Amino acid sequence: MYEYNSRVRLTEVDQNQKMTLTGILNAFQDCSIFHSEDLGVGLLHLEGKKRMWVLRSWDIRIFRRPVLAEHIRVGTWPCAFGKVTGQRNFRLLDDRGELAACGDSSWVYMDTERMRPARVEEGIRLAYQMEPRLSLFGEQEAIAVPEKFTEEESFVIHARHLDVNHHVNNGQYVRFAAEYLPEGFRIGRMRAEYKKSAVLNDRICPCVSTEKDLCTILFKDASGKLYTIIEFRQE
C-alpha cells in the first residue's frame, strides 16, 4: 500500500468544518498520482507513451468526516488489472487510526492519439504491487437510471473545470452534482459512472431524481447522450 500523511485543510471543509466529499475525492486522487509518480509511471511517463488512465467508476463510502486541521492518513493500492483496465482501492484513516472513508475505482487505459482503450503494458503491471480488494465492496452493479427526473438549467464548461488531460475532472462532476442535493442530505455513499468526457465549451444538461434517502443526478449533452450518472445515498 502507498500512503501519505496530511491534515484537513480549510479548503477541504464545509461550513461545519467537516471534510467534504470533494475533499475526500481529491485526497484519493492525489494519493494515486503520488503513488504512480514515485514508481516512475506517472503523468509524464504516460504522456510520452501517448497513454492515460481514464476513470470509469467510483464507489465511495463515508463513515466519518474528519474535521478541520485533523491529522489524516491516505492510502491506495491497485487490486486488479484487466487487458485494458485497472482497479484501485483507497482508504482514509482519521487521527485515531480508524477508517473514516474508503473507495473502489475502476479505470480504462487509453491511447490518447486514437482515443481508444489500449492494452496495459507489462512494464505498467510490474511497477505496481497487487493487494486484495476491500471486502466491503461487492459486485459492481450499474447505477439505475430513474424513470422520472427534473431537468435543471444547463451550464457551459469553462477552462477552470478542466484537468491536465483537458477534460472535466471526475471530481468536478461530483462537485456539480452535490449542488443539487436537498438541504441537510448527509452523504454516506456515492457512486459514479463516467460514460464520456466533457471538454471546453460543452453544454451540460443536468437531470435530477430525489427520493427519501437517494438522489441521482444525470449529466447529459444537448442531444441527450450521457456524460456521467452519480448516485448519492444518505448515512
Per-residue pLDDT at 90 exceeds 90: yes
CATH of domain 150-234: 3.10.129.10
What's 19's DSSP letter? B
Which of residues 73 and 211 earns the better pLDDT score? 73
Question: What is the rounded distance in angstroms from the CA atom of residue 114 to the CA atom of residue 129?
Answer: 29
What is the rounded average pLDDT of the residues 53-81?
Answer: 97
Q: Contact at 8 Å (CB) between 207 and 220? A: yes
* Confidence category of residue 41, pLDDT binned at 50, 70, 90: very high
How many CB atoms lie under 10 A from the CB of residue 185? Answer: 17
Does the fold of domain 150-234 match that of domain 2-127?
yes
Residues 122, 43, 24, 205, CA torsion sign: negative
Q: Which residues contact 229 (CB under 8 A, 6 or more apart)?
A: 143, 145, 192, 193, 195, 216, 217, 218, 219
Q: Contact at 8 Å (CB) between 194 and 28? A: no
Residue ranges per domain, the chain? 2-127, 150-234
Cell of 12: 477541504
- Worst-scoring range by mean pLDDT, 14-23, 116-125, 133-142, 226-235? 133-142
The per-residue DSSP string of 81-132 comes to: E-SSEEEEEEEEE-TTS-EEEEEEEEEEEEETTTTEE-PPPHHHHHHS---P
Please state, rounded to an integer, the average pLDDT across all residues of the chain.
Answer: 95
Dihedral Cα 96, 98, 101, 107, nearest 10 deg: 110
Question: What is the rounded distance in angstroms from the CA atom of residue 149 to the CA atom of residue 57?
Answer: 22
Rounded to two decimals, what is the model's pTM? 0.92
Superfamily of domain 2-127: Hotdog Thioesterase (3.10.129.10)
Q: Which residues contact 95 (CB under 8 A, 6 or more apart)?
A: 66, 70, 71, 72
Q: What is the CA radius of gyration of the chain?
A: 18
According to the model, what pLDDT value does residue 170 have?
Answer: 87
